[in-house]
Structure 1
Amino acid sequence: MTHAFHWLALLTRSNFEQVVFEQIAKKKIDAFLPKTKKLSRRKDRKKIIEVPLFPGYLFVKSSMDPGCQLTVLKTLGAVRFLGNDQGPIPVPETQIHSLQLLTAADCDLVTGVCSRLTQGDPVIVMEGPMAGARGEFIQYRGKGKIIIKIHLLGQYAGVEINENQVEKIPHHLS
């Protein structure tokens, strides 16, 4: 019997995201740890460092088979999969793909009024390094720039992008 594989959100111990990611990769299991760059201020210097986009979480591609999930959960620093009483809840492939495009685009990630777009409209990036990413329109920044966000884990990752690179997705297709 073949098991379908899904992306699952894995909660890790505090500051263990990279350790868990590396250990899971050694087990030949697909994992994704989205990161962003941030300015770290030290007493004597400032440095750009990479930090997890969602502190305490990473994504693992696993079947819904408890044996496969146990292999992941036995990893040092792994806590549990996000889910409910029925088990882990898969993260839609489109959200992971959008997040991979977002982090690979090396854009300035942000957390955080056009007649064509209304706040909350589903959008897709049509061109540029993030082409294919799906998200939600958040706000206008002026000078043709907008912010879109990608929902994940009750949080969001946002990016500033040119308005002309984004198209609204009709609600019946989103």
Structure 2
Amino acid sequence: MSGRKTISPKRNKNGVIAPVGSVPKRWYLFYLRSRAEKSVCVELERRGYDVYCPTFSSLRVWKNRQKKVVEQPLFPNYIFVYTYEYELHTIKSLPRVVNLVALDGKPAIVSEKELAGIKQMIELEQEITVEAKFSQGEHVRIISGPLSGHEGILTRKNGKNRFGIALKSISQTAFVDIDVSTLEKIDRKL
């Protein structure tokens, strides 16, 4: 016997063979058909994928003056999927999935830190807004409170200071009201 080890390929939950030495799992972003976030998330979770679709509660007033609190996606038409790169084609081919978001021809990867910041913003149970353009402002780091350690952009809107975490892959920034006493300036570009 030669003492060589043979490495047999591993299969994932869906039966797809994982390439030996493949890159680690990452958060990828997919663009969906309008109002398909919930159904696509359910389907992906059923197939064993880790999926994140951030939502927030909003008070809606209907034509008959009835008020109702509804859950809405924070980033309409987008979902985040934690998976391997070799599984992207399988996900992209699902019904109601329009495309994989890419930057410079490569799949857009969202960092764990960006998603953790978004999750913590939602947990604050404050009004949270998303703007489609990057707001220019000072680059800051939060030094105290539940968002401590996160870096983002400081802007001022309607007389309030707002802290934003930018998701460059979809050119959107999530903002929440912030007390400037919990911030420090940083010099690096985000």
Q: TM class, shorter-chain normalised?
A: 0.7 to 0.9
Deviations 1:45-100 (A, max 9, x none): 111211011110011112222xx112322333212111156331212332222112
Offset, 1:161:
1.4
Secondary structure of the corresponding residue to residue 164 of structure 2: strand
Identity %: 26
Q: Are 1:94 and 1:134, in contact at CA under 8 Å, matched by a contact in 2?
A: no
Equivalent in the alignment of 2:6: none
Distance in structure 2 (CA, Å) of the matches to 1:163 and 1:84: 33
Secondary structure of the corresponding residue to residue 18 of structure 1: helix
TM-score, scaled to structure 2: 0.75
Offset, 1:140:
6.3
- Tell me, yes or no, if structure 1 residue 54 matches structure 2 residue 75: yes
Q: Are 1:72 and 1:78, in contact at CA under 8 Å, matched by a contact in 2?
A: yes
Of 71, 74, 92, the match for 1:73 = 92
Moved more, 123-132 or 16-25: 123-132
TM-score, scaled to structure 1: 0.81
Equivalent in the alignment of 2:48: 28
Give ranges in structure 1 of 5+ residues lacking alignment. Answer: 113-118
Q: How has the CA–CA distance of structure 1 residues 85 and 159 changed in structure 2, closer, same or farther, with 3 Å as cutoff? A: closer
Offset, 1:171:
1.7
Q: Are 2:75 and 2:130, in contact at CA under 8 Å, matched by a contact in 1?
A: no
RMSD: 2.2
Letter in 1 for 2:188: H
Q: How has the CA–CA distance of structure 1 residues 22 and 162 changed in structure 2, closer, same or farther, with 3 Å as cutoff? A: same
Equivalent in the alignment of 1:115: none
Distance in structure 2 (CA, Å) of the matches to 1:165 and 1:26: 41
- Tell me, yes or no, if structure 1 residue 82 matches structure 2 residue 97: no
Q: Which has the higher contact order (CA 8 A, sep 6+)?
A: 1
Offset, 1:141:
5.7
- Tell me, yes or no, if structure 1 residue 132 matches structure 2 residue 152: no
Distance in structure 2 (CA, Å) of the matches to 1:22 and 1:124: 35
Letter in 2 for 1:50: E
Equivalent in the alignment of 1:116: none
Q: Are 1:110 and 1:160, in contact at CA under 8 Å, matched by a contact in 2?
A: no
Distance in structure 2 (CA, Å) of the matches to 1:15 and 1:140: 29
Offset, 1:14:
0.5
Residue pairs, 1:154-173, within 5 angstroms? 154-171=171-188
